[in-house]
Amino acid sequence: MPHAPITAPGRGAGPGLWLLVSTHTVNDFYTGAVAALLPFLVLEQRYDYAAVAGITLAATSLSSVAQPVFGILSDRFASRWLILAGMVVAATGIALSGVVSGSYWLTWVVIALSGIGIAAYHPAATMAAREAGGGSNRSMSIFSVGGNVGVALAPTGVILTVGTLGLAATPLLAIPAVVMIVVYLLRMRSVRMRSVRMRPRPVPTTLPDAPRGPASAPHDETWRAAAVEPAIEVALEEEDQEKADESRHPTASDDTMPTTAPSPRDDWRAFAWLTLVLTFWSVAYVGVSSFISLFQIQQFGSDEATASIALTVFPAAGAAGTLAGGFLADRWGRMRTIRTGYIAAALGTVAIVLAPNTIVVVAATAIVGFTIFLPFAPQITLSHSYLPNRVGTASGLTLGLTLSLGGFLNPLLGLLADHTTVQTVFALIVALLAVGFALSFVLRERTPH
């Protein structure tokens, strides 16, 4: 059954966009939960660094293949049901992870399942958010910041459950998804009911006479309004929709333009360069989120509660950076915002490497979180402008890379940490961000269609 749209395409940000932001928060809560669970797996199940890096790989390995597939499905079939289905699968995998943590391979499998759910959610939800917000950098940053908030809330949620009750309490982490699904379905029911009420009703050209009598005038006016008002509302809705369609697909006048306009061209070469830049962003992002807590434990002997502070600060600052990145991209341009983010994040990571204590680590992590997410929304909208005919595919590849490629390479960072120190991993992240900054100069702006 086709999924009812949350909001009319082409309209400004409203309840539909904010509902999608909320679903993004819940979905990406389970992304952040993976990183937040790693210290508990190390301390309770004695996993080594390579093993916990493999857990991160489990959350992202299949996503690299699955997310573009889900993007193609979203392009062809408008599969908005994947928004809910992805959330359900993501929550189920995390809920089971602590229960089966005595077996490393079962833990790997259920967390991989969670990663597939996260992959299924993103292309469909991103397309819906693009429609709800008109495709601007600001609206995409607002949608994206929902994910950052979810990742930021995850360590607190994990501490309150797993930190208090142990790994067996992970089923409690499914509660946010259950609540969100109920809210989403209620919203869909409301939209469908409103759609039924707004269906066109035949209105007679000549209205029959209303009952006459001494007090008939007020009743007459009320009766006539009741007969005409639905037709007016429907006409206004159709007019608004026609205007929205014209703004997205301008129609030419017979006197001024040809009757057919050429379709926008997909620029796969430019998209390939953007993909390469995103590879370095991905490894740096996953590396920081996976190892920042372990860095404090190894470097300063912090306990897991203290070490989780930086893990909370990182996505929280990232939420602010994502929001700022959308606004700056609309004001400065996407290229300048992307390049600023990469070089500033590299400098912030240098501060982590040289930090003398945990206070400096937390402060530097906040800087890295803010700056590394400045390019996030601009990179997504840039991918859409490079592939205007395949927005779902572009979303699947772009958002998949933010976790998948980093997850694939994260075990190598784990091996590096096992054979050297976690500090060495962060020195490598500095280099990766610097290379991403250099490659960003190959990218070119493209006017959205």
Residue whose C-alpha is closest to residue 223's, from 212, 234, 236: 212
pLDDT at 256 (0 to 100): 42
pLDDT at 138 (0 to 100): 83
User: Pick the residue with more confidence: 225 or 58?
Assistant: 58
The string of pLDDT tens digits covering residues 149-178 is 888 889 889 999 998 899 999 999 999 999
Q: Tell me which of 7-21, 223-237, 240-254 is least confident.
A: 223-237
Average pLDDT, the chain: 80
Q: Tell me which of 213-222, 258-267, 306-315, 370-379 is least confident.
A: 213-222
pLDDT at 62 (0 to 100): 67
> Apex CA 21: angle with CA 16 and CA 25, to 5°?
145
| Segment holding 420, helix H or strand E | none
Mean pLDDT of 234-259: 45
Q: How confident is the model at residue 255 (pLDDT cuts 50, 70, 90)?
A: very low
pLDDT at 227 (0 to 100): 37
pLDDT at 292 (0 to 100): 92
Alpha helix segments (H runs only) across 7-103? 15-45, 49-60, 63-77, 82-97
| Segment holding 168, helix H or strand E | none
> Considering only the top CATH level, what class is 15-190+266-442?
mainly alpha
Q: How confident is the model at residue 6 (pLDDT cuts 50, 70, 90)?
A: very low
Main-chain phi, psi angles of 266, to 5 degrees? -80, 125
Q: Tell me which of 86-100, 213-227, 292-306 is least confident.
A: 213-227
DSSP state, 215? Answer: T
> Apex CA 291: angle with CA 286 and CA 295, to 5°?
155
| 117 contacts 86 by C-beta, under 8 angstroms | yes
pLDDT at 75 (0 to 100): 74
pLDDT at 54 (0 to 100): 83
Q: Tell me which of 238-247, 285-294, 337-346 is least confident.
A: 238-247
Residue whose C-alpha is closest to residue 285's, from 306, 308, 305, 315: 315
Q: DSSP string of 334-370?
A: HHHHHHHHHHHHHHHHHHHHT-SSHHHHHHHHHHHHH
Mean pLDDT of 403-425: 85
pLDDT at 273 (0 to 100): 94
pLDDT at 50 (0 to 100): 79
296 Cβ neighbours under 8 A, 6+ residues apart: 302, 306, 307, 310, 358, 361
User: Pick the residue with more confidence: 230 or 33?
Assistant: 33
Q: Is the pLDDT of residue 4 over 50?
A: no
pTM of the predicted structure, to 2 decimals = 0.66
Q: Which amino acid is at 414?
A: G
pLDDT at 9 (0 to 100): 39
Q: Is the pLDDT of residue 214 over 60?
A: no
436 Cβ neighbours under 8 A, 6+ residues apart: 277, 280, 281, 284, 342
Q: Is the pLDDT of residue 82 over 90?
A: no
The string of pLDDT tens digits covering residues 119-158 is 888 888 888 887 877 767 788 888 888 887 888 889 889 9
The string of pLDDT tens digits covering residues 331-382 is 888 999 999 999 999 999 999 999 999 999 999 999 999 999 999 989 988 9
d(CA 128, CA 17): 8
d(CA 170, CA 161): 7
Q: Tell me which of 32-36, 133-137, 433-437 is least confident.
A: 133-137
Q: Is the pLDDT of residue 34 over 50?
A: yes
| 404 contacts 61 by C-beta, under 8 angstroms | yes
Q: Is the dihedral of CA 428, 429, 432, 437 positive or negative?
A: negative
Q: Is the pLDDT of residue 95 over 50?
A: yes
| Segment holding 217, helix H or strand E | helix 216-248
Q: Is the pLDDT of residue 5 over 80?
A: no
| 163 contacts 37 by C-beta, under 8 angstroms | no
Q: Is the dihedral of CA 79, 83, 88, 89 positive or negative?
A: positive
d(CA 387, CA 446): 10
Residue whose C-alpha is closest to residue 19's, from 153, 173, 180, 193: 180
| 296 contacts 361 by C-beta, under 8 angstroms | yes
| 116 contacts 62 by C-beta, under 8 angstroms | yes
Q: Which residue has the tokens 């499914």?
A: 174
CB neighbour burial string for 170-188, b if at least 16 within 10 angstroms, e if fewer: bbbbbebbeebbeebeebb
Q: How confident is the model at residue 215 (pLDDT cuts 50, 70, 90)?
A: very low
Q: DSSP string of 68-86?
A: HHHHHHHHHH--TTHHHHH
Residue whose C-alpha is closest to residue 430's, from 279, 290, 288, 275: 288
Q: How confident is the model at residue 221 (pLDDT cuts 50, 70, 90)?
A: very low
d(CA 310, CA 305): 10
Q: How confident is the model at residue 225 (pLDDT cuts 50, 70, 90)?
A: very low
pLDDT at 340 (0 to 100): 96
What are the structural domain ranges in the chain?
15-190+266-442
User: Pick the residue with more confidence: 291 or 49?
Assistant: 291
CA distance between the termini of the chain? 30
| 372 contacts 288 by C-beta, under 8 angstroms | yes
Q: Is the pLDDT of residue 116 over 60?
A: yes
| 367 contacts 351 by C-beta, under 8 angstroms | yes
